[in-house]
Structure 1
Amino acid sequence: MGTVALAVTDGMLHFELSLAYEVFGAHPAGVAGPWYDLVVCGPGAVRAGRFRLEPDHGLDRLRCADTVIVPGWADVDVDPPAGLVDAVRAAHEAGARVASLCTGAFVLAAAGLLDGKCATTHWAHTEDLAARYPKVRVDPDVLYVDNGSVLTSAGKAAAMDLCLHLVRLDHGSSIANTVARRLVVPPHRDGGQAQFVTTPVPAPDNHPLAELFPWVIERLDLPLTVEDLARRARMSSRNLSRHFRSVTGTTPLQWLLTQRIRHAQELLETTDDSVDAIAAATGMGTATTLRRHFNRTVGVPPDTYRRTFRSSRALSATVDAPFCGPGDEHGSGVAQPGPRP
């Protein structure tokens, strides 16, 4: 899956930097095959809060990466460093996939990578991003935006969502879920989910739907309805919808459909089951229904999704593109974005 380069600078937010390092820097236990080659690139020794960080390489090495991650930094009232902006732009021009976490979107915007595109950042800074870069279509509500080779996320937990989304594109949903379990975070939240809900999300073991979620996941092959879920949760359908909106940010039916699609993706990636069999196993009923919902949600038909992930597996098993050294050309086999979950 190639090289992931963290682009660092003075005043960056150490939380986003640390979570990216955790996701891409540690090979998950029990996962066979190659993992990412993680490097840290900066203009020299930099400071993140009270921490001092010595990058592995200079910013010029960003152009050799397959994926560049730009963490946010605290002082968004000033323009981002010109050297960082130029290096990120050059990396993208060389073929790198570029993703920003939180206020790192200001770097991508300054580099012109977001012109004419939809993007997001931490909700507290979306108005400022839109005012300073009017060519960017800023969405203040979503967790993250995937434009293929350019991706942006909101702050804090949403940065983790985007990192896991990248792992899912590169390695598939099963491995992304393994990484999420190791980090004890939700395995998947759609990028279009709201950045925040009106009430705090309760701890996993004490909210009203805590017992309902695993019960549903074990029964995705059944034609469950909102009434079935409400009956199991011992509440009215209206009360169920209110709790779902509070806990998940979406409706019971949309959440249920998302779980069915995620399960279908896992089966397409890990089994040779027919689309008809997967439709039955995910509660979609027929292959026609599965194809309709899958194509609308993921963006490609199930058969194409399966071929894409199997092709990428075969490619990763045969291609070893090392991080290029001084004077080397940009490594071949730049990771291409897969279908969007």
Structure 2
Amino acid sequence: MEESTTVATPQQPLPPEVVEKIVIGGDLSGLNAAQRAEYYAAVCRSLGLNPLTKPFEYLTLNGKLRLYALRDCADQLRRLHGISIYITNREWLNDIYVVTARAKDRLGREDESTGAVTVGNLKGDALANALMKAETKAKRRVTLSIAGLGWLDETELDTIPQARAGATPSQESQEDAHPTADQISSLVELARSCGVDLIGFGRHMRQLMDLPGESRITKKFLRESMTMEQYEEAWQYYNELLKKLVEEDVLDHPPPGDAASATESEAAVAPTEEPPQTAPPAPAAPAQTPSAKRSYASPQQIAGLKHLAKQVGDDAYADVQDMLEHHRDGLAMDVYERARQWLKDRKSAKKEEATAESRG
């Protein structure tokens, strides 16, 4: 598949009346499917959120189409801004249960919001779920507030009878919507992470889109011709393929002392409680000369490292991300091996601690 290095032709500017509806009235109904997808991606970029995790959904309220925040939006915002949350008050006001949550970001700014639910005559699990929902509401609302995002959270929709959830960009009309340039680039990179070269990727796209064998597959062609349904099918295929490759890599290299039995090896895959806190591996010094020959970790190995860090939990994934930021030109194999061993040691220690606690 050919990769074009030319700048993509920008989309036609929106009509002034549509821009006015968005900016002044907050109504997105004047956008077509492709424009909504572009707007959705632009909002995510401006906030530093990953659009592939679907942090927002569309909502029709008072005849206007707008975005509202989902759980993943609040989770990512907490991480991005270093937001800490603690509950300051819980109280009953007749049959209403109110929770007050306070948030503080890494700059020392503080904010406070409440979450309330009507309890009525609820009992048992229904009552327990209502109490937890009030706490979740408070945490989500204060997160959005301190991050400067004055949008509705999904936990508030139940109290708005006229609210009607709409479709996300991926659920719009498949005839009108096409992947954006960023989405196509991400798909190509995902395929490369699975070890699929551009020739193999092009062959797969022809098969997926039912195209003649001589069809020329370029990023521009995919942006203009590929439907969102086809894009999602391709993304799911490569995502599952990468997940399989990563799991095979992790299982083929059990941590020290973890190979006693197949049962123990499988049990080690699931994350457990708190691991001992240890310092992350120090970044290796850069090569002394440009001509020095060094081998670098492959995309599959990098993906496996991230997967292992997620299994370890706590701050391990953040440590790995920071390490990769310091090695943007490639992660040398010696650094990769040290980081991998460090993660396996933490994972092994975590398992031993969980075993000791279960015996105690």
How does the TM-score come out when normalised to structure 2?
0.25
Report the structure number with the largest CA radius of gyration. 2
How does the TM-score come out when normalised to structure 1?
0.26
